[in-house]
Amino acid sequence: MKSKTLVVMIVVVLALAVAGIAFAQQANLPGTAYWFGATEQNVGTSDAAIVVTAYDSASDAQYPYSPAPLAPGASINVGPNDIPGLPAGFVGSIVVSSDQPLKALVNVTNRLAGSFGTADGKAAALYSGIESSNASTDLSFPLAKNNH
């Protein structure tokens, strides 16, 4: 399958999970129980064959998910319960591959929704997925703090 890959990097999940470890020591900062929801839309002209793969940050484990083909203009929401075998407390990244062009939005939050999040969760972020041509293995931060 010739893939046009849309990389939905949930690097924010990694950053927030690491921050969550530090924040867990400070009860007044919200930093635990993060989860995600990702919406992908087929902006192509044919049905899209999609593969969503979650990559564990602490191991070589991969968790692939292949939903039904997505019609042109249609969208799908993917959350933690949709990816088979994804362990509770997963920390890593997600890559969405398709044979049609996609657009994506990702929500990362620790607000309570069913069995996800925490009752005192107040954090939320929304960002768009990036195409593989814009992806990099380098990540630059304009500011980094420790022991704030």
CATH number 2.60.120.10 given to 4-24+31-134: no
Q: H or E element: which one contains 68? A: none
Which residues lie closer than 8 Å to 54 by C-beta, 6 or more apart?
62, 63, 64, 65, 83, 86, 90, 92, 93, 94
- What is the b/e burial string over 62-76, where b = at least 16 CB atoms within 10 angstroms of the residue's CB? ebebeeeebeeeeeb
Model pLDDT for residues 39-96, shown as the tens digit of each residue: 999 999 999 999 999 999 999 999 999 999 999 999 999 998 999 999 988 888 899 9
82 near 65, Cβ under 8 Å? yes
Model pLDDT for residues 101-119, shown as the tens digit of each residue: 999 999 988 999 988 888 9
What gap in Å lies between CA 94 and CA 71, rounded to an integer? 22
pTM of the model: 0.70
